[in-house]
């Protein structure tokens, strides 16, 4: 047996083996999955725009007008007019001077964080940040401090150490950098953005907020969680993806003109990668136009999410952590989560199980994602199906989560955390460690 096969077998034993399922047709509310019609309850096509006729037409027209590929990095063969137009619209949408397109949200986050988190910078990263922000921290040559999830006291404690040690406005070199998801992708809760901005001002830190799941889903005209919190203009870089509510592919960093020039010169994932394809860019532009014209899609998404959360609560699921269109059903054990997923699938509802390293050990879950294009009846029926699937898989939701996330942290602390480079300081109120946990699981799976 090869070493690769041994590793694959190990993943299977741990209930962590992944495979891709085959979907026929677009990412609508109902799809044919591995040959069987199901309700799709785990796609990020939140506003139903990926398959909207106007978005499809715009992409098809762009292919005819500008071709399919962008040819090279924009620093090599130039920015196409279609890129420039979308950047201008995105800057207007996000209320910033500039916006810079990237190939994807993953590339935008790794590029922005590594560009701003160079040697001499301490990066402060929420323990439940998306993998792309985590990987940005890893690529940066600065130090990373992982603060407890949404824990402003822990973040402040870390900032105090960094300032004491010489970062920031009183210090020798580069300001600290705080990076956070706005809407957490696996939990559906929202970062305490106002508190983060206050701390950043006080300690002279820069802030990067990833609005992958906020853009198009909340705030006035779907402008995101930052707009909802009244913080537009107060965040150094806002990252958004075109691949979720905006129904296409690609991403952007919205910021002031000076920051855009800096990122153009330093973000390696922008400099050394082919620009987004014209059909994807034009598709996103059409989606943005639809968002401006039809803001009720956002209201519909939010009211659909409320209906699903209520219906799930009636089935005995604990959904209190989520206030958004992302609703996790935290099962705990990875194999049990897979069994619930398969049982739901047998009954016609597809909600993918999410396991480590995507989520912390012991918190495997079904991550439900609502779309504006679901009907309320479909969502109520899905909740009933999920209730039955849980019972069939031997998991009683009303008993609660087998492992609380706090416990996971404690286990990690015991193992020690090399990501916490403020380690010579007195023990923090809480120490995060999921960063390391992800590193370990990825290493095991790699
Ligand atoms: C919070 C968050 N940020 C960034 C990304 C990456 O975006 P993209 O899919 O455009 O690469 C994702 C996608 O899964 C995400 O959930």
pLDDT in tens, 120-169: 999 999 999 999 999 999 999 999 999 999 999 999 999 999 888 776 55
Which residues are CB-neighbours of 309 under 8 A, at least 6 positions away?
319, 322, 327
Asked if residues 88 and 109 have their Cβ atoms less than 8 Å apart, the reply is no
Residue 437 reports pLDDT greater than 50: no
What pLDDT, on a 0 to 100 scale, did the predictor assign at position 168? 55
CA dihedral 419, 186, 192, 232 (to 10 degrees): 110
CA-based nearest residue to 347, from 339, 337, 336? 339
Q: Is 83 a catalytic residue?
A: no
CATH number given to 54-292+419-436: 3.40.640.10
At 421, list the tokens. 């480079």
pLDDT in tens, 363-372: 999 999 999 9
What pLDDT, on a 0 to 100 scale, did the predictor assign at position 164? 83
Q: Whose CA is nearest to atom 4 of ligand 1?
A: 105
Given CATH 3.90.1150.10, say whether it is the number of domain 20-50+295-410.
yes
Report the separation in Å between the CA atom of 105 and the middle of ligand 1, taken as the mean of its atom positions.
Answer: 5
For residue 200, the Cα-to-chain-centroid distance in whole angstroms is: 22
Q: Is 376 a catalytic residue?
A: no
Report the separation in Å between the CA atom of 207 and the middle of ligand 1, taken as the mean of its atom positions.
Answer: 18
Which residues are CB-neighbours of 163 under 8 A, at least 6 positions away?
169, 170, 171, 176, 203, 204
What pLDDT, on a 0 to 100 scale, did the predictor assign at position 167? 60
Distance CA(335)–CA(353), nearest Å, equals 9
Distance CA(58)–CA(248), nearest Å, equals 11
Residue 318 reports pLDDT greater than 70: yes
Lowest mean pLDDT among 109-113, 148-152, 286-290, 401-405: 401-405
The mean per-residue pLDDT over the stretch 97-110 comes to 98
Residues in the chain: 446
Q: Left, alpha or beta for 56 (phi > 0: left; psi -120 to 50: alpha)?
A: alpha
The domains of the chain are located at 20-50+295-410, 54-292+419-436
CA distances, 324 to each of 130, 186, 303, 370 (Å): 17, 11, 10, 9
Q: Which residues line ligand 1 (CB under 6 A)?
A: 104-106, 109, 130, 132, 181, 185, 210, 212-213, 241, 243, 251
């Amino acid at each position: 047996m090869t070493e690769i096969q041994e590793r694959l077998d190990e993943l299977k034993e741990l209930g962590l083996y992944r495979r891709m399922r085959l979907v026929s047709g677009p990412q609508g509310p109902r799809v044919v999955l591995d040959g069987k019609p199901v309700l799709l309850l785990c796609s990020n096509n939140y506003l139903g725009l990926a398959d909207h006729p106007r978005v499809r037409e715009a992409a098809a027209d762009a292919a005819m007008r500008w071709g399919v590929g962008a040819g090279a990095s924009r620093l090599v063969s130039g920015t196409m007019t279609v890129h420039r137009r979308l950047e201008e619209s995105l800057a207007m949408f996000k209320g910033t001077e500039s916006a810079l397109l990237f190939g994807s949200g993953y590339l935008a986050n790794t590029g922005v964080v590594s560009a701003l988190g160079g040697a001499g910078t301490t990066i402060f990263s929420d323990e439940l940040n998306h993998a792309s922000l985590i990987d940005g921290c890893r690529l940066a040559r600065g130090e990373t401090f992982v603060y407890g999830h949404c824990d402003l006291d822990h973040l402040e404690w870390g900032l105090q150490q960094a300032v004491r040690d010489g970062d920031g406005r009183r210090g020798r070199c580069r300001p600290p950098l705080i990076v956070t998801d706005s809407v957490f992708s696996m939990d559906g809760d929202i970062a305490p953005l106002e508190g983060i901005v206050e701390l950043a001002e006080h300690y002279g830190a820069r802030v990067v907020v990833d609005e992958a799941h906020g853009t198009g889903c909340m705030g006035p005209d779907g402008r995101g969680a930052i707009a909802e919190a009244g913080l537009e203009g107060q965040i150094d870089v806002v990252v958004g993806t075109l691949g979720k509510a905006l129904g296409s592919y690609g991403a952007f960093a919205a910021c002031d003109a000076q920051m855009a020039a800096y990122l153009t010169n330093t973000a390696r994932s922008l400099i050394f990668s082919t620009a987004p394809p014209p059909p994807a860019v034009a598709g996103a532009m059409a989606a943005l136009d639809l968002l401006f014209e039809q803001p009720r899609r956002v209201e519909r998404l939010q009211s659909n999410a409320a209906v699903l959360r209520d219906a799930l609560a009636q089935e005995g699921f604990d959904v209190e952590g989520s206030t958004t269109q992302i609703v996790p059903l935290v099962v705990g054990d990875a194999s049990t989560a897979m069994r619930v997923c398969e049982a739901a699938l047998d009954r016609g509802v597809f909600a993918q199980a999410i396991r480590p390293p995507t989520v912390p050990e012991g918190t495997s879950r079904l991550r439900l994602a609502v779309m504006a294009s679901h009907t309320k009846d479909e969502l109520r029926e899905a909740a009933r199906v999920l209730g039955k699937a849980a019972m069939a898989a031997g998991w009683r939701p009303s008993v609660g989560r087998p492992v609380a996330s706090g416990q996971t942290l404690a286990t990690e602390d015991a193992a020690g955390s090399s990501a916490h480079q403020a380690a010579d300081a007195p023990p923090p109120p809480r120490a995060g460690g999921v960063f390391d946990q992800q590193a370990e699981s990825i290493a095991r799976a790699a």
